[in-house]
Amino acid sequence: MPSPFPGFDPYLEDERFWHDFHQTFIVVAREFLLPQLSPRYRIRIEERALIAAEFPETQPSKRVAYYPDITIAERVAQPTGVTTAVATATDVLTEVAADQPVVFEFLAETEEVQSFIKIVDRTRERLVTVIELLSPSNKRAGEWRIAYLQKQSSYMESGVNLVEIDLLRKGEHTVAVPDYALERVKPFYGIVSVWRFYRRHRFEVYPVHLQQRLPRVAVPLLPEDKDIVLDIQWVFNRCYDLGRYGLDIDYTQPPPVPLTEDEAQWLDKWLKDKGLRQQS
């Protein structure tokens, strides 16, 4: 069953579907891009995880979140009554205490994983382009949003092309292009932002509208190489087919996100014309 919409399906913002859609999108997007890449480039799927951990013995109410490469440490006091013998090569070591360790104890934890695409110049092992599909956790206040914005800044500061695909209505403005710069293309449902490291003060923006096909986006590589193209609509359609979401979505109900009056009227008429809602 294909998606009933010409572009994005707002019902996929439901948390029951989004994680599966997100993971599938990244895999299918790589499948679409790979034939366009010369052997110079490697395209890989990477993951980042955020873990929330409790330390009830020391801070019962505190929860912390971090990326796996950021450590959370608790130093423990040196045991009493244990001494260290200083020995030469001929001495006999009778009493030894270990060096003071850093102890990690996770009594409870939850983990969320997000996938994204990296394109690497294999001739110099240089990261060239990152493609991100934003998730709800990137767009609401909390550790995930902070961590995502930090990673976004680190890419731009280190000279990595950044393609951000935000198909979500809910949440705060998150893509790198400043919100104030988007006034002339509003209103829109979502946005795709492309930033090239060799044109630091320029953003290429593709507004997303429910009533229209999802865009074909230019994905930059190194300046001397031609862009490749990501057809987001093709990828979306493939994901929708693989996920068989149409068997689980009840289109007679309102979508799980707020719509403008024009969007709501259009959606109602569209679904009625498709036979997914009763005519009034």
Residue 86 binned pLDDT confidence (cut-offs 50, 70, 90): very low
Torsion of CA 101, 102, 103, 104, to 10 degrees: -150
Predicted confidence (pLDDT) per residue in 153-178, tens digit: 999 999 999 999 999 999 999 999 99
Cα 240 from Cα 60, distance rounded (Å): 43
* Encoded tokens for 103: 């102890």
Beta-ladder partners of 165: 133, 192
218 within 8 A of 204, measured Cβ to Cβ? yes
Res. 82 pLDDT band, cuts 50 70 90: very low
Q: What is the pLDDT of residue 74?
A: 37
Amino acid, res. 132 = E
**Which domain covers residue 259, as residue numbers?**
10-53+115-273
- Distance separating alpha carbons of residues 93 and 85, to the nearest angstrom: 6
In a domain, 217, yes or no: yes
pLDDT score, position 1: 77
**Which of 114, 112, 106, 113 has the alpha carbon at shortest distance from 62?**
106
| Residue 241, domain member (yes or no) | yes
Say if 131 falls within a structural domain. yes
- Considering the domain boundaries, does residue 27 fall inside one? yes
User: Which pLDDT value is given to residue 144?
Assistant: 87
Total domains in the fold of the chain: 1
- 53 — pLDDT class (breaks 50, 70, 90): low
Reported as a single tens digit per residue, the pLDDT across 109-156 is 556 788 999 999 999 999 999 999 999 999 999 888 999 999 999 999
Give the confidence band of 100 by pLDDT, cuts at 50, 70, 90: confident
Q: pLDDT averaged over the chain?
A: 85
Q: Which two tokens stand for residue 106?
A: 């996770």
Query: Confidence class of residue 200 from pLDDT cuts 50, 70 and 90?
Result: very high
Alpha helices (H) in 104-249, listed in sequence order: 136-139, 143-157, 232-243
Residue 47 lies in a domain: yes
pTM (whole model) above 0.85: no
Within a domain: 59: no
CB atoms within 10 A of CB 2: 8
User: Does 2 map to a domain?
Assistant: no
Q: Residue 52: its pLDDT value, please?
A: 57
In a domain, 184, yes or no: yes
pLDDT, mean of residues 95-114? 66
